[in-house]
Structure 1
Amino acid sequence: MTEPRFHVVAATSDLAPGDQMHVELDGEDILLCNYRGKYYAVGYYCTHAFMPLEGGYLEDGCVGCPYHGAMFNLSDGSVAMPPANGGIRTYPVRVENDTVAVSATPSNDPD
């Protein structure tokens, strides 16, 4: 298995704890989140109504859909609260030298 290729997408100073940003890598829409000082990269869209998760709340290690309240675990993409129809992808993140890098190769396959 080959090592995933990482792309620098932000400086650590770009995302304070609680902040989020949309990232597009290799055709993948990704939501980058800083939850309590740790960076997570997850699928950008909720599986319930395919609405963006960006702007949703970060709470209890989850991102909540701002439209219908579905919640997903940031660490593994699993559904924490309905009405989601399935989990979301998660992506590897590396923080080095004040930069945040993400791989477009998902860590999981929620389908």
Structure 2
Amino acid sequence: MSDDGFVKVCPLGDIPEDGPLAVEIDDTPVVLVRSGDEVFALRDVCSHAEVALSEGEVYDGTIECWLHGSCFDLRTGKPTNPPASAPVPTYRVRLDGDDVHVSLRPGSDDDQTT
């Protein structure tokens, strides 16, 4: 782990284009989503039903919970439709060549490089 909390998680090629990848960082479930040149990281637990978001579909900048259909914005973690009303945590992502690094520590958006 680096001083700013970033941990190497996987190669970029492991994340499907416009699809989710479930990983675990320090016992925290995280879902990674690649959309074009950007990678997003969110807590891999729906805030409504507590099921894995990584089992859902990715579209229009959101990830959909497979159980009840709540969608969460990939950038903010905020729900875009019910039944979820609470956001899921998002995490900072940094690309270093072809390696994806994620930090579970809070930081400014200026720190995020995708």
Q: Normalising by structure 2, report the TM-score.
A: 0.84
Unaligned runs of 5+ in 2: 109-114
Contact 2:16 2:33 (8 Å CA) reproduced: no
CA spacing shift, 1:11–1:5, aligned 2, 3 Å: same
Runs of 4+ in structure 1 over 2 Å off? none
Corresponding position of 1:52: 52
TM-score by length of 1: 0.86
Q: What are the ranges of 5 or more consecutive residues in structure 1 without an aligned counterpart?
A: none
Structure holding more helix per residue? 2
State the shift of 1:26 in Å: 1.9
8 Å Cα contact 1:16/1:37 also seen in 2: no
Q: Which moved more, 1:81-90 or 1:23-32?
A: 23-32
Q: CA RMSD in A?
A: 1.7
State percent identity of aligned pairs.
31
Distance 1:90 1:106, change over 3 A: farther
Q: How many residues align?
A: 106
Deviations 1:76-108 (A, max 9, x none): 111111111300000000011111010122459
